[in-house]
A and B are shown apart, each in its own frame.
Chain A
Amino acid sequence: MICLGIEGTAHTISAGVVKDWNEKCKVLSNIIKIYRPEQGGIHPREAANHHAFYVADIIRESVDKAGVDFSELDLVAFSKGPGLGPCLRTAATAARALSLSINKPIIGVNHCVAHLEIGRGTLEHCTDPVLLYTSGANTQVIAFAEGRYRVFGETLDIGIGNCIDKFGRTIGLDFPCGPAIEKLATKGKKYLDLPYSIKGMDIAFSGLLTAAEQYYNNKEKLEDISYSIQETTFAALTEVTERAMAHTEKNEVLLGGGVAANKRLREMVKIMANERGASFFVPDKDLCIDNGAMIAWLGVLMYNSGIRMKVENSFIDQRFRTDMVDVTWRD
């Protein structure tokens, strides 16, 4: 089966084409276009306008790059949620138009579950992982238990990417601030005490953000503050992931989301995995960030397990939680 997936939950519009092959996922193309605001954070309407402007070209490019014809597509998948309403609606509208014009079925999928499934689909030996999903909006520790992907831990306030972006904006960096903060952090030497806030397997960042901004107002070095933010938040994320692994008795850990591109976070989770004799997985960078291929792949899994959706029922759901999805494609 060949499926084209359209992602559009937040700042990224993307289309990817995948094929199932021996129960694994073969990515044929994955075209990604990211909206970058001139200043400040994401403006939902501006982001949606950006997506509407590019989506048709991206769909065509992804089909061309995949080396297939539109008539060879068997399924159209789109990100049903969670995300920003205007962005979701733009991607869903494009998916409906495509589905109707090529007369192929449509399916809406959960964005967070897609981040986990693309790891299982593309990485060998990655079968039953605990996912640490870290992005701008989302920070969740997800694992399969009793027929669903359950959220074992999540942020109680803001996402880790959002925390880093907010600090970055305070010091005058452009969105997304992660790469610049990571660069500053490698030059930091002095650890400045920051709140390390864990509640069970949940986590909170807003107190840490305020404390970090105070260090900035007190003229501490940006390198040292960045270093301390990374060391504290990533250690706490790694700890809650380890707790979830112990709790669920799983021995695979998978990273996903934009913040998974951070080398220090990867290193910490890898050390944790090694120390407990578990396997560590991280997908290719383009499959870690928001992308159409992962949406397409989850569409394939759902469709093959018998799930069907009509165009008139292809609603979006801004608050589509990970644990609302009935996982019919796994035992």
Chain B
Amino acid sequence: MNFDVIKKRRIKKGYRIKQIDNNLISTRTKEEAKLMIEARAAGVSIPIIYDVDLINGVITMEYLKGKRIKDILNSLDEKERARICKKIGESIARFHNNNIIHGDITTSNMIFLDDKIHFFDFGLGEINSELEAKGVDLHVLMEAIESTHSKYSNCFNYVLEGYKKELKQDANQVIKKIQDIVKRGRYR
């Protein structure tokens, strides 16, 4: 192919017995490819998939020459950080509108390119319409922001702003769910 691609290969883990490892590799590869295609149809920026190899657990996809959000977020000025975070929230709302749960939303799993947020790593995702699933999905991001961008923890509020704007159902119900999940944590 005369353009750049990236092959995401799920590596066999020596610490897992074969039954668990093979099962995880094929289900996660299949699920990830399916969710990426559906999220793209929902209007979220996602790398284009060229090939899926379930046996070896390989997805061949478009190579995005952008920057990870994790690496740029802390160095932006406040206004730009708020703008990017709102965009992140809008994108999450778009896939949540279609009951697509990402499963691992962290700033390492988003790339900034052409003024768009591109999402990948849907390997822990699922289709689920429940509030609980959407709440857990956002809670993972909240924790990632608290631990990796702790000086800018208002980032998550900006994310929620964008999320509220774009979500078709009542976003406050999802936000209430996030608060419930936080309280469920140890020693809260």
> Interface of A with B (CB < 8 Å)?
81-82, 137-138, 140, 145-148, 150-152, 154-157, 191, 196, 198-202, 231-232, 235, 238-239, 247, 267-269, 271-272, 274-275, 318-321, 323
Contacts and interface: CB of A to CB of B under 8 A. Distances in A.
A267 B106 CA distance: 29
Given A268-B15, A269-B15, A191 B20 contact: yes
B43 interface: no
Nearest to B136: A199
Nearest to B143: A200
A155 B147 contact: no
Given A150-B147, A200-B106, A275-B13, 8 more contacts: A82-B186, A137-B186, A154-B185, A156-B136, A199-B140, A200-B144, A268-B15, A275-B15
Contacts of A269: 15
B120 to A, nearest CB: 15
What does DSSP make chain A's interface, helix, strand, loop or mixed?
A: mixed
B15 A82 contact: no
Nearest to B11: A275
Q: Which 3 A-B pairs give the minimum distances between C-beta atoms?
A: A200-B140, A319-B187, A268-B15
Interface in B16-58: 16-17, 19-20, 24
11 contacts: A82-B187, A138-B186, A145-B147, A145-B150, A199-B124, A200-B144, A235-B17, A247-B108, A268-B15, A275-B13, A275-B14
B148 A238 contact: no
Contact of A321 (B144, B151, B187): B187
Given A154-B185, A238-B15, A239-B13, A200 B104 contact: yes
Given A146-B151, A235-B15, A268-B15, A196 B24 contact: yes
Given A200-B124, A318-B187, A247 B15 contact: no
Interface string B153-188: 000000000000000000000000000010011111
Interface of B: 13-17, 19-20, 24, 103-106, 108, 124, 136, 140, 143-144, 146-148, 150-151, 181, 184-188
Contacts of B150: 145-148, 150
B21 to A, nearest CB: 8
Contact of A235 (B16, B184, B185): B16
B81 to A, nearest CB: 16
B188 A271 contact: no
Nearest to B16: A235
Nearest to B18: A191
B140 A202 contact: yes
| Listed residue (B13, B24, B103, B181) with the most chain A CB atoms within 10 angstroms of its CB | B13
A156 B180 CA distance: 12
Contacts of B147: 145-146, 150-152
B15 A319 contact: no
B24 A156 contact: no
Nearest to A264: B15
A321 B186 CA distance: 8
Contacts of B13: 235, 238-239, 271-272, 275
Nearest to A275: B14
A155 B181 CA distance: 12
Contacts of B105: 200
Contact of B103 (A148, A200, A238): A200
A110 to B, nearest CB: 10
Nearest to B141: A200
A297 to B, nearest CB: 22
A198 B106 contact: no
A157 B186 CA distance: 8
A155 B143 CA distance: 13
| Listed residue (A140, A201, A269, A323) with the most chain B CB atoms within 10 angstroms of its CB | A201
Contacts of B14: 271-272, 274-275
A191 B19 contact: yes
A244 to B, nearest CB: 9
Nearest to B108: A247
Nearest to A319: B187
A47 to B, nearest CB: 18
B187 A232 contact: no
Nearest to A157: B184
B140 A154 contact: no
B122 to A, nearest CB: 12
Given A200-B103, A318-B187, A150 B19 contact: no
Contacts of A157: 184
B124 A198 contact: yes
